[in-house]
Amino acid sequence: MAITGIRRLVFLVDDLTTTTRFFTDYGLSFIAGDATSSRFEVMNGAEVLLLLRGHPDLPQGHAQTGIGVVECVWSVDNAAALKRLTDDLARDHQLATDAEGVVHFVTPFGQAVALQHWTPRAVHGAPSPANTPGLVGRLNQPRKWLARATPKRIHHAVWTFPDVQEALEYYRDRLGFRITDVQKGFGVYMRASAAFEHHNIFLANAQAPMPGFDGTLKFHHANFELEDIDEIMVGKNHLDRLGYDFAGNWGLGRHRLTSAAFLYLNMPALGGDMEYGADCDCVDDSWKPRVWDGAFGTAIFMHDLPQWMMPTPNWDVTYARDEQLRFLPADPKPANTTPAGVPATDIAAEAAE
């Protein structure tokens, strides 16, 4: 075994007051802070660390643009595995180990990454059983009521990469990640070797015609795992009551590609979206990766269906052949499949998870 998931997300921020207030309202537990930093944790102990621009603990020498998550600390399940990884990386990386035992380095493509031997706290969800015709899951028992969301784990994070294939090969060959699915033209989903989440990182194509994708290495969003759809929407309503405005988001939906329920909340002060998620597929090494059309993989449903999702979805998904376990370009879209008045590039621009 080796990497188990996300230990810490380190954010570069320019507005510490706003971002600290957001994560408090979002449901994380505040641990410590001062005039230049704030530290939070989710239920399993994984952390969000906000560092004001100029803070000495921000990673140096990386090539990432913009604000947001500028370093991801990955958890490693035992000291021997950490030593194997760092011994290999030391061949061609400059490593720096801090007082906490976190090993920091920068990848050849300029992403700041770190590793730490760390064991998360156990977290056990207990969603209300469901009733459906012919199957009674709750008898004489109402659904439980929640006042607000409390994120359980940091499920995954997403960056845009100028060369997805280079990043894929690095995460696979140097850090031991597995490919779980490929979304043509938009990127590759990868799972840490000792994790069961469908993906812990999505390598998004920085060249895709997506809003905000500018061809650079850049933070896109982070997913915080909740118990179920009820908790997702209770969390959203709590933020609504506090005056947050998330107009323009997709609303509640469920991805087809990962089966996960989602709610994206745009937070420009954090450099991207914060996503409430629940009920994602869990996989292991017997999983068979698939190749997806971008729009088809995006959603089974969305509360606020955008124009580009109005046409009947194009059923395009296959199990990946060995030669398809790589970044694949998008298929050209036939002209007659686009909604009236919407260019095909605009449809593609919104098709990635």
Number of helices (H), then strands (E), in the chain: 6, 19
pLDDT at residue number 333: 65
User: What are the φ and ψ backbone dihedral angles of 295, each rounded to 5 degrees?
Assistant: -65, -40
The beta strand positions in the chain, using DSSP E, are 3-13, 29-33, 37-41, 47-52, 68-76, 96-97, 103-106, 112-117, 153-161, 178-183, 187-191, 201-205, 218-225, 253-254, 261-267, 272-278, 290-292, 301-302, 317-319
Question: Taking a C-beta distance cutoff of 8 angstroms, is the pair 11, 66 a contact?
Answer: no
Sign of CA dihedral 230, 232, 235, 237: negative
Domains along the sequence of the chain with CATH:
3-121+152-349 (3.10.180.10)
pLDDT at residue number 338: 37
Q: Give the chain's residues under pLDDT 70.
A: 333-353
d(CA 263, CA 151): 13
- Residues whose CB falls within 8 Å of the CB of residue 240, separated by 6 or more in sequence, listed in order: none
In terms of DSSP bridges, do strands 37-41 and 29-33 run parallel, antiparallel, or are they unpaired? antiparallel
Q: What is the dihedral of CA 138, 143, 144, 150, to 10 degrees?
A: 110
pLDDT at residue number 295: 85
Residue 119 CA from chain centroid, whole number: 20
